[in-house]
Amino acid sequence: MSTLLLRVLAIGVAVTAGAVCSGAYAQRNEPTELVDQQHCMFCHTSDAPFLAPAFHQIAERYRNVPNANLMLEQKLRAGGRAHWGDMPMPVSAERGGPPLSPEDARTLIEWVMSQ
C-alpha cells in the first residue's frame, strides 16, 4: 500500500473512533412529550438565553464536569438555586408538570447534554 493510502485509512479510522467515543453526547432527538409535560420551553430555548440559559449553554458549561449529569438530574427533580442569574430552577409542581421520575430526568438531561 502506498503511504498516502495508509494515511487516508488512518484518518478514516481516527474519525470513526472519534465519532464512536463521542457517542455519549451524540445529538439526541428531543423527548417532546417530556419537554412539553415539564414546560421546559417556558424558560429555555435550544439556542438563545431567554428566562433561563439555552440548552446548548447548559451543555457547554457542564459537558466536561464530572458527575454533572447526576447534579443536573437532581436539580430537575428537586429544583435548585440560581446559577445563571436570579431565577432558580423550580420543582416540577412549580413548573406545572407532573412529578419527574429519575428515568425521565435522565432522559431530559441526556438530551440537553447532546446539544
Q: Which residues are annotated as a binding site?
A: 40, 44, 89
Residue list, annotated binding site for heme c = 40, 44, 89
Query: SS3 for 82?
Result: coil
Phi, psi of 82 (to 5 degrees): -70, 130
Name the grid cell of 76: 430537575
Distances (CA, A) of 34 to 18, 37, 45: 30, 5, 15
CA triplet 32, 86, 70: central angle to 5 degrees?
A: 50
The length of the chain, given as a count of residues: 115
N-terminal to C-terminal alpha carbon distance within the chain: 40
